Structure 1
Amino acid sequence: MADAPQIPDEAEVRARWGSFAWSAENEPQVKKIIARYPPGRQQSAVMPLLDLAQRQVGAETNTQGWLPVPVMEYIGAQLGMAYIRVYEVATFYTMYNLAPVGRYHVQVCGTTPCMLRGSDDVLDACYKKGMKKGATTADGLFTLTEVECLGACANAPMVQINDDNYEDLTFDTTTAILDDLAAGRQPKIGPAIDRQTSCPEGGPTSLKEMAGENHDYRGEWTAA
C-alpha cells in the first residue's frame, strides 16, 4: 500500500547533501549512541543514527526530513558498514523517508481495522485539502502516504503525522487537524473522542472504582 518514493536526480542530491556532516548539536549525541554498543558492534547503532540524520535533514529543510543517499553513505562510513547494508535498513522501515517530504508527513493507515472504521473518510478529508497519495502539496506543507498498520487498531481510524498519532477520526475531525497544522496550531494528540488512550469511550466499564483511587476489591470478591 505504501507509495513509491519520488527520489530526486542523483546529481542534484549529491550537490546538496554530498558534504553532509553531523551538526554541532548532534555530534555529542552520535557519540553517546555508538557508545551504547560493545567494541566491534557499532553497526547496531544504524537505526538511531538514521533517525537522527533524518531529523537533522528535516531541521535544515523545515520538513519532516528524509535520507539522501550521501547521508546514508556517511553513516555507513562512520559505522564501518557497507552502504547497501544501511540502505537495506532504511528501505525496510517506513519510519525512514527515502525522498523529500513536506513539513507534515500525513501517514494514513489503510489496513483492515482502519478501513472498516472509516479510513476512506480520512483519506477523503486529505484529498479535499489538495493532497494526493505519494505527493507533496505545492506549498510544501503536506505529504500524503497510505501505510500499513501503525499499531493503534483499537482507536481506528487513525493517522500518524510526523511523530504524533491522531485517532478515532472522522472526516470532520481530520479536516480540523489539517486546518490547525496549516495555521501553525498544535492539534490535540491522541483520541478525538472522550477516552484515555485506548480505554473504552466515556470511561471504564468494569472496575470503575479504580478510576478514582487504588480501590481494594479483595473483601468484596471474598464475600461474593
Structure 2
Amino acid sequence: MKVYYAHGGGYTEIYGLKNFLKKIRNDLEYGRIFPARFKLPKINKNKNEEGDTGKKIFKKLKERLKYSEHENSILLVIDDGDCLFYNKERSFMQSLEDFKKFLKEKNIKGIFLYIEPEIEKFLCIDKSWIKNNKCEIKEKDIYSLLEELLENYNYELNKDKNGCKVKFSDKLEEILKICGIIKRFSKKTDGSEYLKKIDPYKIAKEDKDLRNFINEVNSIKISQ
C-alpha cells in the first residue's frame, strides 16, 4: 500500500527520513510528495525545496493535494517543531488547523509528527550512532553532554516568533566538535547518516509524540 509523506526541507530529512519510516513499518510503500525535485533550466542544477518548513509546507501541499488522485489517501507529515509547536504559536497553530480542515475536505487522512525542537533531537535519545563516547576535552563523556542538552534546552522563540531563539542542531554541533567527533556538522552527510543508524522504537520509549505517531502508522490497514 502506498502512503504519501511530506517533511521539512532540511538535509537530514531529505536524505535520511525514508529509511527511518521504513524502520517503523516496512510493509508500506512510502511516496514522498514534499519536498519534490523540479527540473530547472540546464544552466542550473536540479534543486530540492530545501529549507521549507512550517507554514510554507501547508501552502505547497495544498497545491499538490488539490487533485482528485490524492483523495482517500493517507499523508504523513513530519517536520521540525522549531519551538512553534511547543509554544503553541498562534499563527502556526491556526495554519495547522486550516490544513487539517483542508485534508478532511479532500478525504485525506493526515498523521502528523512535530519533533521539538528539531529532528536532531532523536540523535540525543538513541546514541547508537556514536562509535566512541569519550570526550577528552571535557570531564564528562559525550553521552552525558547529549543528555544535558536534552534536559536543559530552552524552547524559547526568537523575537520574530518564527523559530527557536537557539537552534538545537547548533548546540549538538558544538558538542560533537568539542568531543572531536567531527570538525563540522553537515546535515546532508552526518545528520542523514546518523538518522539511518538509530531505532525509532527505541526513541519512542522516551518521546511521546513519536510514540503516538508510530501507533497511528501501525494502525493503517493495508486495505485502506
TM-score where L is the length of structure 2 = 0.32
TM-score where L is the length of structure 1 = 0.32
Max Rg structure: 1
Which one scores higher on RCO, CA 8 angstroms, separation ≥ 6? 2
